[in-house]
Amino acid sequence: MQRFKSSLLFAVVAVAMAQTPGAAPQENPASQNNAVLNPTVDTRRVGMRLRCKCGCPDSLASCSMLECGFSKPGKERIAKMQALGMDDKQIIAAFVQDYGADIYLSPPSAFGWIIPYASVGVGLAAIFLFVKKYRKPKLIPEIGTIEIDDPALEKYKDQIEKDLANME
């Protein structure tokens, strides 16, 4: 009976949460507030090309400062400009004109993509050469023939030789 009550309580809570009007975010493109809380892919794409002016090293789209005084209005401005039909270059040009050239973050070049992989390759090559140079296999001294001193072992040796001869 306790299990039934728990399941019933869980079902009632789940239905109540599903019907709560504020539980799921509503998509309303006309709302500026929603555009800032849930920036669109287009807003993020443009915001990633602009530096945040609040003092953090992040872009406008990825500023992690709570209640940032530049990021939130900047995202609103980008959303308004996109609603007016401006393309990415025009929006970025408007921000550069208002805040200077240092606001523009250029996309990473091929050089920036190659350096991490090249440094890993050089490091692995250095480790390989170091190990190859300083790890020398130990030479096994020449032993020669093994002589058995114990007569009991000599008996077994003779038995092994007979068994090997019978196998052929």
pLDDT over threshold 80, residue 16: no
Q: What is the largest CA-CA distance in the chain?
A: 104
Q: What is the pLDDT of residues 54-69, one digit of tens each?
A: 888 888 888 888 788 8
Amino acid identity for residue 3 in this structure: R
What is the percentage of the chain residues whose pLDDT exceeds 90? Answer: 17
CA–CA dist 106, 50 (Å, integer): 9
Q: Is residue 58 classed exposed, middle or buried when 0-12, 13-18 and 19+ CB atoms within 10 A define those classes?
A: middle
The backbone torsions φ and ψ at residue 142, rounded to the nearest 5 degrees and listed phi first, read: -70, 120
Residue ranges in 24-109 assigned as alpha helix (H): 32-37, 41-47, 71-83, 88-99
Q: Which two tokens stand for residue 91?
A: 């929006």
> What pTM did the predictor assign?
0.46
Higher pLDDT, 10 or 80: 80
- What pLDDT does 70 receive? 87
Average pLDDT over residues 5-22: 64
Q: What is the pLDDT of residues 128-150, one digit of tens each?
A: 999 988 887 777 777 766 666 77
Q: How confident is the model at residue 34 (pLDDT cuts 50, 70, 90)?
A: very low
Q: For residue 42, give both structure tokens.
A: 């287009």
- Tell whether the model's pLDDT for residue 27 goes beyond 70: no
Provide the pLDDT for residue 126: 97
